[in-house]
């Protein structure tokens, strides 16, 4: 368990956070640029000496009145946005730098880390010749080999294009599968976070604006203003039923009904996590007929809240919470109120491929 009660004053900016973080799994730290997400990570790592307050990790007080544990004694694995590999060392040299200083500590071994991140072919390479994606893989491996008690990932994919991001995400999913290692993952990309994280902490202007289970936070209409119409939405856990190759679609099952998404390279029975943005969800009082949208699920209105550009409608779709963003006019015409039964319409093309994720944690959702 990581407990923070800290503040840091900078000219024109103050970070002030009181928050508990889960002791396992991935916690997303989400927020707009300049909100203080990276500063928060630096503070946890011990890289901001002028921060005030208290930081406790498990039984260790990393920072408190009159005490400050330096970064080298905290045991955090920090993956920087710009990788920060050592230029004067080879890939193997970078990994060894971490490995040597963490001998005898519990954590992944050399072979395990190299295999997990497919670093074998890179070991002899010079750092200068690596691509952006390779750099981040090496940086993650190096951080792992320092046998950290807590991983801090600061937008590790921000410098990569969409294709490279898709290459790296499976490695991050493997990292997540190391259950003993809690991960704080900073990003301003909700598609990425929805794929990896269970918990989310939303940081806006140096303060925590919301926190909790990711799906619940994304679907909470009261947070619509903080998350934006592309941020708020839903995360649904679904199962792959079959592929319709001729139509270029895959059919997935959700407790509330079937959905069609662009063809996926996932076998039947595979578990997936899908994310929808609130602005890609339409609502109807009766089941629409003869409509080009393929995905229509029955839903119940749970709550309504004013959003900057309309009305945020909190929904329940089967077991999952979701959110739709509609105009004031539509809300009035549909006479929506809590308890109203509606149909949520999701156009299948509105589901970007990167918004559909393989769920590595099969046992979590299939367990009775």
Partner 1 sequence: MTLPDLAPFWLTLRLGLVVMVSLLALAMPLAWWLAHTKCRLKPLFEAITALPLVLPPTVLGFYLLIAFSPRAPFGGAFMRLTGETLTFSFTGLVLASMVYSLPFAVQPLQAAFEALGRAPLEAAACLRARPFDRFFTVALPLSARGLLTAMVLSFAHTLGEFGVVLMVGGNIPGKTKVISIAIYEQVETIKLAEAHASSALMLAMSFALLLAVYSVNRRFPQAGGA
Binding site for partner 1 (CB under 8 A): 45-47, 70-73, 75-78, 80, 82-88, 97-98, 101-102, 127-128, 135, 142-143, 146
Burial 22-54 (b: 16+ CB within 10 A, else e): beebbbbbbbeeebbbbbbbbbbbbbbeebebe
Closer by beta carbon to partner 1, 41 or else 200:
41
State both tokens at 114. Answer: 């190299």
Closest approach, Cβ 86 to partner 1, in A, equals: 6
Closest approach, Cβ 66 to partner 1, in A, equals: 21
Nearest to 171, CA basis, from 242, 212, 102, 122: 122
14: how many CB neighbours lie within 10 A of its CB? 13
Closest approach, Cβ 148 to partner 1, in A, equals: 8
Closer by beta carbon to partner 1, 185 or else 260:
185
Q: Rounded to an integer, what distance in angstroms lies between the CA atom of residue 217 and that of residue 303?
A: 14
Tallying the residues shown for the chain, one arrives at 368
Q: Rounded to an integer, what distance in angstroms lies between the CA atom of residue 101 and that of residue 58?
A: 22
Closest approach, Cβ 119 to partner 1, in A, equals: 16
Give the angle 341-345-349 at the CA atoms, nearest 5°: 165
Name the DSSP class of 90: B
Closer by beta carbon to partner 1, 183 or else 356:
183
Closest approach, Cβ 57 to partner 1, in A, equals: 14
Closer by beta carbon to partner 1, 181 or else 322:
181
Query: Phi, psi at residue 85, to the nearest 5°?
Result: -75, 155
Closer by beta carbon to partner 1, 88 or else 179:
88
Closer by beta carbon to partner 1, 72 or else 341:
72
Closer by beta carbon to partner 1, 70 or else 338:
70
Q: Rounded to an integer, what distance in angstroms lies between the CA atom of residue 368 and that of residue 365?
A: 8
Q: Rounded to an integer, what distance in angstroms lies between the CA atom of residue 128 and that of residue 135?
A: 9
Closest approach, Cβ 45 to partner 1, in A, equals: 6
Closest approach, Cβ 142 to partner 1, in A, equals: 7
């Amino acid at each position: 368990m990581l407990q923070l009660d800290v503040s840091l004053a900078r000219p024109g900016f103050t970070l002030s956070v009181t928050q508990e973080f889960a002791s396992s799994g991935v916690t997303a730290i989400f927020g707009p640029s300049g909100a203080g997400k990276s500063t928060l990570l630096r503070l946890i790592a011990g890289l901001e000496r002028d921060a005030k307050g208290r930081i406790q990790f498990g039984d260790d007080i990393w920072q408190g009145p009159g005490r400050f544990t330096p970064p080298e004694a905290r045991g955090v694995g920090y993956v920087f946005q710009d990788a920060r590999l050592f230029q004067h060392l080879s890939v193997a040299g970078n990994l060894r730098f971490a490995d040597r200083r963490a001998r005898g500590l519990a954590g992944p071994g050399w072979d395990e880390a190299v295999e997990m991140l497919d670093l074998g072919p890179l070991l002899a390479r010079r750092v200068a010749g690596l691509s952006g994606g390779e750099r981040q893989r090496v940086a993650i491996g190096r951080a792992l080999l320092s046998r950290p008690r807590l991983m801090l990932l600061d937008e590790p994919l921000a410098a990569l294009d969409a294709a490279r991001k898709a290459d790296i995400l499976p490695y991050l999913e493997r990292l997540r599968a190391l259950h003993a290692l809690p991960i704080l993952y900073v990003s301003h990309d909700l598609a990425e976070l929805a794929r990896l994280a269970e918990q989310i902490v939303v940081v806006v202007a140096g303060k925590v604006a919301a926190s909790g289970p990711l799906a619940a936070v994304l679907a909470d209409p009261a947070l619509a203003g903080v998350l934006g119409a592309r941020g708020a939405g839903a995360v649904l856990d679904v199962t792959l039923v079959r592929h319709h190759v001729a139509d270029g679609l895959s059919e997935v099952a959700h407790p509330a009904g079937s959905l069609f998404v662009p063809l996926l390279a996932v076998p039947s029975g595979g578990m997936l996590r899908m994310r929808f943005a609130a602005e890609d969800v339409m609502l109807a009082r009766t089941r629409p007929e003869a409509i080009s949208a393929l995905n229509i699920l029955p839903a119940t209105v749970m709550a309504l809240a004013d959003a900057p550009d309309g009305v945020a409608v909190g929904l329940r779709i089967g077991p999952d919470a979701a959110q739709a963003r509609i105009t004031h006019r539509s809300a009035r015409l549909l006479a929506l109120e809590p308890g109203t039964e509606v149909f949520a319409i999701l156009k299948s093309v509105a589901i970007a491929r990167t918004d559909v994720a393989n769920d590595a944690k099969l046992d979590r959702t299939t367990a009775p």
